[in-house]
Structure 1
Amino acid sequence: MTIEPLLPLVLFALVSTITPGGATTLATASGAHFGFRRSIPVMGGFAFGLGSMAGAAAAGLGGVLMALPILQIAMKTLGSLYLIWLAIRIGRSGQPHEAAQMVRPTGFLAGVWMLWHNPKGWAMTMGAAASFAALADSPARLAFLLGVTFCLIAAFSLAVWCALGQMLGHLLKTAWQWRALNISLACLLVISIVPMWYE
Structure 2
Amino acid sequence: MTMSLSLLLSMSAFAVAASISPGPVNLLVLSTAMRVGWRRSLPLVLGASAGFTVLLWLIGLGMIELWERVPLLRQVVRLGGVAFLVWLAWRLACSDGELDIETSSEPAGAGTGALMQWLNPKAWLASAAGMGAFVADGNLVLVTAFALLWGSLCALSIGLWALAGSRLSQWVSSPRRMQGMNRALAGLLALSAGILLLG
TM-score over 0.5 for the pair:
yes
C-alpha distance 75-44 of structure 1, shift in aligned 2 (>3 A): same
Q: Deviations along 1:10-44, whole A, 9 cap, x unmatched? A: 10010101010001101100110010111011111
SS of 1:97 mapped into structure 2 = coil
1:35 paired residue number = 37
Any idea what the Cα deviations from partners look like across 1:170-197, whole Å, max 9, x if unmatched? Answer: 1223222111101011111112223433
Query: How big is the alpha-carbon RMSD for the aligned residues of Structure 1 and Structure 2?
Result: 1.9
Distance of 1:145 and 1:98 partners within structure 2: 39
| Cα contact 1:58–1:142 (8 A) shared by 2 | no
Equivalent residues, number: 196
**Partner Cα distance (1:113, 1:138) in 2:** 25
The answer on whether the counterparts of 1:59 and 1:142 sit within 8 Å (CA) in structure 2 is no
Q: How does 1:1-199 map to 2 (within 5 A)?
A: 1-93=3-95, 94-97=97-100, 103-133=105-135, 139-199=139-199
Contact 2:35–2:101, Cα closer than 8 Å, also in 1:
no
* Stretch moving more, 11-20 or 76-85: 76-85
Q: TM-score, normalised to structure 2's length?
A: 0.91
Q: Structure 1 unaligned segments of length 5 or more: list them.
A: none
Over the matched positions of the two proteins, sequence identity in percent amounts to 26
Task: Give me the whole-angstrom Cα distance separating, in 2, the residues matched to 1:112 and 1:122.
Answer: 13
- 1:149-182 Cα offsets, whole Å, 9 max, x none, are 2211111111111111111101223222111101
- In 2, Cα distance between the equivalents of 1:160 and 1:35? 12
In the superposition, the TM-score normalised over structure 1's length comes to 0.91
User: Using the alignment, how far apart are the partners of 1:142 and 1:98 within structure 2?
Assistant: 43
Alpha-carbon distance in 1 for matches of 2:48, 2:124: 14
Q: CA offset at residue 81 of structure 1?
A: 0.9
Q: Structure 1 counterpart of 2:99, which letter?
A: P
Unaligned runs of 5+ residues in structure 2 are none
Cα distance in 2, alignment partners of residues 139 and 198 from structure 1: 35
Secondary structure in structure 2 of the residue aligned to 1:60: helix
SS of the residue aligned with 2:41?
Answer: helix
Q: What is the CA-CA distance between 1:65 and the residue it aligns to?
A: 1.8
